[in-house]
Structures are given as structure tokens and as C-alpha cells.
Amino acid sequence: MSLKLGILGLLAEEPLHGYEVKSRFEAMVGHTWEVNIGQIYSTLQRLERDNLVEAAGGRGDRGKLAYRLTPLGRESLDRWLSEPEAEPQQLHDDLFIKLALIRRLGNGNLQGLIDRQRRVYLQRIRDLSELERRARAEKRPDLLLLIKGAVIHAEADIKWLDACLEELTNLEPYTPTHEEENRS
């Protein structure tokens, strides 16, 4: 989720100052994403510069400035909320680069890396199970959907590791042709 657009969504509900934005954003995602207050204020400043938010009156108690959505900000938020994500699958994946280099260089431990990565994904699923337990206790069905999506992704990552191991284990090290390396 984009922090910028998450902030716009929160300001669509009512004017808020920075600490309220931080608190509500973190609560909205079940405290799975901790945001630095400096990030909030710098994002609010950029949103104000871009005419997506504006000050909602003067500074309140303790000098806090509340922000509200502008019509342009509302239009931007509505457009983002209605559009599907264009890139659901990441093609810039660090793990794939490691696997490709192990194969290309022929000097790595493919099985060892895949086993270590599998343990990371399994731990992620265990951590998500704990988050799921807390979300159920807090009666947060919205957060349960986020967690379920993360579990499905982690399970898919494990299946992908299995496919990588199956496909890459018996292959010879890859050496690109001169033409492949010079393709633009």
C-alpha cells in the first residue's frame, strides 16, 4: 500500500494532524507497518505542495496542524481506489538474481539457499498465524483479509522455491551467448 494514498484515504474521513494520521494508519493495518512520524510529516508536506491536501484551519493545541483532503486529492484517491494494481508479480526479485547467479557461476549451494529461504517463508507463515490469532481476538475481519493474502503469498513463494529446485538442480551452469549479452 502506498503511504501517500493511505494518508489521503484517512484524510477523506476527516481532517487529522500528523500524529493522528500515524496512529490511524498503523491501526488500520493492524500495526503490521510501523511508520516513522518524520515520514508522515514529509509526506503531508509533499501532498500539500501538490495541492492534494491543505491545512484545515490554524494550528490547534500544542501547535498541531490538521490537514484535509482537497478536491484534487479526492479525485486522486478515487482514481487510485478504482484502478487495479498494474504489477501484481514482481519481476525484479533479489532471490531470483541469487539463484540465477548460483546457476550461472556454478559455484553456489542451490539446495542450501533454497532450504534457508524456505525456513524464512515458513517462519513468516508462523508469524502471520500469530497476527491472525490477534486479529480474531480483536474482531478485525478487515485485517484477517490482509493476513490471509500474506499467507497465500508466502505459500506461493514456497511452491515457487520447489519449482526452482526441481528446474535448476540438474541444469548445467548457464553461459549466455555473446549476442544475448549485447542485446539492448
For the stretch 13-30, pLDDT in tens is 999 999 999 998 888 887
Asked if residue 157 is part of any domain, the answer here is yes
Residues near 9 by beta carbon (within 8 Å), at least 6 away in sequence: 77, 81
Asked if residue 155 is part of any domain, the answer here is yes
Lowest pLDDT segment from 1-5, 26-30, 32-36, 97-101: 97-101
Query: Domain check: are 51 and 116 in the same one?
Result: no
User: Containing domain of residue 10, as a range?
Assistant: 3-82
pLDDT tens column, 109-160: 778 888 989 999 999 999 999 999 999 999 999 999 999 999 999 999 999 9
Q: Which of 49, 82, 115 is the last residue of a domain?
A: 82
- Count CB-CB contacts under 10 A for residue 164: 19
Asked if residue 146 is part of any domain, the answer here is yes
Query: Domain check: are 108 and 161 in the same one?
Result: yes
pLDDT at site 46: 96
Q: What is the Cα–Cα distance from 66 to 18, expressed in whole angstroms? A: 7
Asked if residue 126 is part of any domain, the answer here is yes
> Does the pTM exceed 0.75?
no
Asked if residue 61 is part of any domain, the answer here is yes
**Number of domains into which the chain is organized:** 2
Query: Domain check: are 72 and 122 in the same one?
Result: no
Q: Which of 43, 60, 82 is the last residue of a domain?
A: 82
Query: Domain check: are 55 and 104 in the same one?
Result: no
Q: What is the Cα–Cα distance from 22 to 41, expressed in whole angstroms? A: 9
User: Quick one: DSSP state of residue 16?
Assistant: B
Q: Which of 56, 82, 108 is the last residue of a domain?
A: 82
Query: Domain check: are 104 and 164 in the same one?
Result: yes
Asked if residue 87 is part of any domain, the answer here is no
Query: Domain check: are 36 and 65 in the same one?
Result: yes
Query: Domain check: are 116 and 162 in the same one?
Result: yes
